[in-house]
Amino acid sequence: MGGIGIVSDPRARSNRARPGLAARLRARLGGDGEVLEAHEPAEVEVAVRRLCAAGVELLGVSGGDAAGQRVVTALAQARSGAPLPRLLLLRGGAMDTVARGQGIAGTPETILRALLESRRRGQPLRTVERDLLRVEADGGPPQFGFLLGTGAAVTLVEAWQGTGPEPSPLSAVLVLLRALGSAVRGGPLAGALSRREPVRVESDGEEWPDDGLLALLAGTTPDVGLGLRALERCAEQAGFFHAVGLTAPLLALALDLPRLRAGRPWRRRHAYDQVARELILTADRPRFVLDGNVLAAERQLRISTGPGIEIVVP
């Protein structure tokens, strides 16, 4: 049986609230594996390569969505086409959107305890298979993750990050409510969210109509946050991802929120809705959020599916 490797981000929100967490995870893991602390991409790359060289069969992330994105990027690069170890999302961030979307609940310690108890009893691990999303900015080295958003999605994430030193799910809900109120009043936040900048989108060789987008959403997991299952078609075909271009006015999209929480399809008059293998977005310095990390390109984003990975659901 292969071992378990855990990369723990000491700067993740919930981890900062738990001093000594890495040491406790290390003690609980015992001889079953190793815990390494890392935050910056270069540190994460070193940690992941070390764990891969040790032959771990299960790679854990103690940290939030942004930490997970850095880990899966380093993992995909380190394995370079070889099968990936299973992924264990221990949570520990402010939102943990990707983990929540797989039904993973609890703290890093309780999740690890449940996993170890199952392994030591010889029980098969429950997993869900996902493809990674591969994102190349201007032909540069690829980044990997599960959820991508542009336009209004970036505006919402930055508004949430600006709520204070410790953004939380509650502050995310408050930002969403503030956005709805701003849309009714015609306030500045609604103005920022409603901005439609020129963008060209080509999906599997077919160009989308040039109607202007509030946002592009793409992903390989359905929940984009706060229980909104906006990418419900993400697992329709292996090797594909769900892409949605939002075209309707902000208030019309707000009225669709109950539909999204129920995982119902997008209204055709409100969004372009496709399952794609590759999507190319061309714009002037497009900014995007990938699993909580806000990034930017000069001119072009190429979005495609990366390697598949099994996510453990203890």
Mean pLDDT of the chain: 93
Q: What mean pLDDT comes out for the span 30-54?
A: 93
Distances (CA, A) of 273 to 98, 204, 301: 21, 13, 19
Domain made up of 4-125: CATH architecture: 3-Layer(aba) Sandwich (3.40)
Please, which residues bridge with residue 302 across strands?
136, 280
As a whole number of angstroms, the distance between CA 277 and CA 240 comes to 5
Answer for the pair 198, 205: CB distance below 8 angstroms, yes or no. no
Q: CA 149 from chain center: how many Å?
A: 10
pTM here? 0.94
Answer for the pair 228, 156: CB distance below 8 angstroms, yes or no. no
Residues of the chain with CATH 2.60.200.40: 143-306
Is 145 a residue whose pLDDT tops 80? yes
Is 14 a residue whose pLDDT tops 80? no
* CATH code, 143-306: 2.60.200.40
Q: For position 11, what pLDDT does the model report?
A: 86
For the chain, give the percent of residues with pLDDT over 70.
Answer: 99
As a whole number of angstroms, the distance between CA 239 and CA 219 comes to 12
Give the pLDDT confidence of 209-248 residue by residue, as tens digits.
877 899 999 999 999 999 999 999 999 999 999 999 999 9
Give the pLDDT confidence of 177-211 residue by residue, as tens digits.
998 888 888 899 889 999 988 899 999 999 998 77
Higher pLDDT, 231 or 40: 231
Ramachandran angles phi, psi of 113, nearest 5°: -60, -45
Residues of the chain with CATH 3.40.50.10330: 4-125
Ramachandran angles phi, psi of 220, nearest 5°: -120, 15
Ramachandran angles phi, psi of 252, nearest 5°: -65, -40
User: Which position has the token pair 């992924």?
Assistant: 87
Q: CA 29 from chain center: how many Å?
A: 26
Q: For position 211, what pLDDT does the model report?
A: 72
Q: For position 97, what pLDDT does the model report?
A: 96
Mark 121-139 as b/e (b = at least 16 C-beta within 10 Å).
Answer: eeeeeeeeebbbbbbbbee
Q: What mean pLDDT comes out for the span 16-38?
A: 91
Is 1 a residue whose pLDDT tops 50? no
As a whole number of angstroms, the distance between CA 252 and CA 270 comes to 8
As a whole number of angstroms, the distance between CA 247 and CA 214 comes to 6
> Nearest-5° angle of CA 76, CA 55, CA 74?
20
Answer for the pair 137, 296: CB distance below 8 angstroms, yes or no. yes
Give the pLDDT confidence of 89-132 residue by residue, as tens digits.
999 988 999 999 999 999 999 999 999 999 889 999 999 999 99
As a whole number of angstroms, the distance between CA 55 and CA 92 comes to 25
Is 153 a residue whose pLDDT tops 80? yes
Is 68 a residue whose pLDDT tops 50? yes
Higher pLDDT, 194 or 304: 304
Q: What mean pLDDT comes out for the span 162-175?
A: 88
Q: For position 2, what pLDDT does the model report?
A: 63
